[in-house]
Amino acid sequence: MITISSVLITDDVHPLLVEGLKAMGYAVVYRPDITWSEVKSIIGDFGGIVVNTKTKMTREMMEAGSKLKFIARLGSGLDIIDLEEAKTRGIAVLRSPEGNANAVAEHAIGMILAYNNKMLQGDREVRNFIWQREKNRGKELENSTVGIVGFGHVGSRLAEKLTGLNVKVLVYDKYRQQISGQFPFVNEVSYERLLEASDYISFHVPLTQETLYMMCKATFEKCKPGAVIINTSRGKVVRMTDLLEALEGSLIGGACLDVFENENPATMTPEERKLYQRLYERNDVILTPHVAGWTVESKRKIAEVLLDKIAALG
């Protein structure tokens, strides 16, 4: 039995989460605009904390939060939490990938379709009274091969959605085998084979030492010519300098990115700003600001998932 008297919520959440926690008997402090240093100064008063990417749960933070019994993550990525430290301290770590898996899968498909049909380029041109139909001739997704790296909540949901688009789906997941038994519409292959055969390569993996820079110079060189890289997982899964080199050297055809190595322009070095400027100037990339899992529906679903998991703590 875990006794938790108060919970600190450090980011914007659906009202359902606040109301649900109160209904369970917790005292809730809702501070969506709180800074990391402010969290550190008051965390010692709380038995539970709800966090998103801005509030990294480091060893230092957990030392300050001596009463913590759980850390609840809005979304799926656990790279913001020192898991070993949490385990040592007996702090339960909860996450909610079930809540935004559908949103991320839809976003990935949306990016592919927008890329294929040159929608962003066409939109910019029409707004400037430029009407060039042939220049904006699209490409159909049907009969192509989509490679999915990581077959957890999001990867499997993406595969399910692709079944209606008449594409071949290849899957690589180091920690999940015999996938085709449950998902007969996918083909399990090695990572190298997926790179060689896929027209589109979509990443749905957590950031770990194994997935850090899975896409780098060596792996870009193994890609099928013209392949499009889709990353809605974590920015450091793809090394940005190598991605630009692959684009500029025509090793790949394009990229759709929702996540980046540095997602805070205010902290970019002059070298980083130049790097990203080169990326921003390209017409063969589609970029969004880490919002793949950020939908009206997912906000509520994440709240529902976390409430269930917090309730299960006892």
Residue 155 sits in the same domain as residue 88: no
Q: How does pLDDT run across 53-76, given as a tens digit for each residue?
A: 899 999 999 999 999 999 999 998
CB neighbours of residue 45 within 10 Å: 14
Q: Is residue 200 part of a domain?
A: yes
204 catalytic residue (yes or no): no
Q: Is the pLDDT of residue 170 over 50?
A: yes
Residue 160 sits in the same domain as residue 268: yes
73 catalytic residue (yes or no): no
* Average pLDDT for the chain: 95
Residue 222 sits in the same domain as residue 305: no
Percent of the chain at pLDDT > 90 equals 94
Percent of the chain at pLDDT > 70 equals 99
Residue 72 sits in the same domain as residue 160: no
178 band by pLDDT with thresholds 50, 70 and 90:
confident
pLDDT in the model for residue 3:
52
Residue 251 sits in the same domain as residue 301: no
Residue 248 sits in the same domain as residue 303: no
Of 95, 234, 239, 261, which residue is the catalytic one? 234
294 band by pLDDT with thresholds 50, 70 and 90:
very high
Q: Is residue 115 part of a domain?
A: no
89 band by pLDDT with thresholds 50, 70 and 90:
very high
Work out how many domains the chain is built from and give that number: 2
Q: Is the pLDDT of residue 175 over 70?
A: yes
Residue 147 sits in the same domain as residue 75: no
Q: Look at 256 and 177; give whichever has higher pLDDT.
A: 256
Q: Are 306 and 50 in contact (CB under 8 A)?
A: yes
Residue 267 sits in the same domain as residue 301: no
Q: Is the pLDDT of residue 77 over 90?
A: no
Q: Is residue 307 part of a domain?
A: yes
Q: How does pLDDT run across 248-288, given as a tens digit for each residue?
A: 999 999 999 999 999 999 999 999 999 999 999 999 999 99
pLDDT in the model for residue 1:
38
Q: Please compute the mean of the pLDDT values over residues 126-143 and round it to a whole number.
A: 96
Residue 93 sits in the same domain as residue 144: no
Residue 84 sits in the same domain as residue 176: no
Q: Is the pLDDT of residue 307 over 80?
A: yes
Q: Is residue 125 part of a domain?
A: no
Q: Please compute the mean of the pLDDT values over residues 121-142 and round it to a whole number.
A: 96
Of 193, 282, 290, 300, which residue is the catalytic one? 290
Q: How does pLDDT run across 2-61, given as a tens digit for each residue?
A: 456 899 999 999 999 999 999 999 999 999 999 999 999 999 999 999 999 899 999 999
Beta strand 254-257 with 186-188: parallel, antiparallel or unpaired?
Answer: unpaired
125 catalytic residue (yes or no): no
What CATH code is carried by the domain that includes residue 23? 3.40.50.720
For residue 93, give its domain range.
Answer: 6-98+296-311
pLDDT in the model for residue 4:
63
Q: Is residue 11 part of a domain?
A: yes
Q: Is residue 180 part of a domain?
A: yes
Residue 300 sits in the same domain as residue 249: no
Between helix 119-127 and helix 97-116 the angle, nearest 10°, is 60
Residue 169 sits in the same domain as residue 302: no
Q: Is residue 220 part of a domain?
A: yes
Q: Is residue 240 part of a domain?
A: yes
Of 19, 210, 221, 263, which residue is the catalytic one? 263
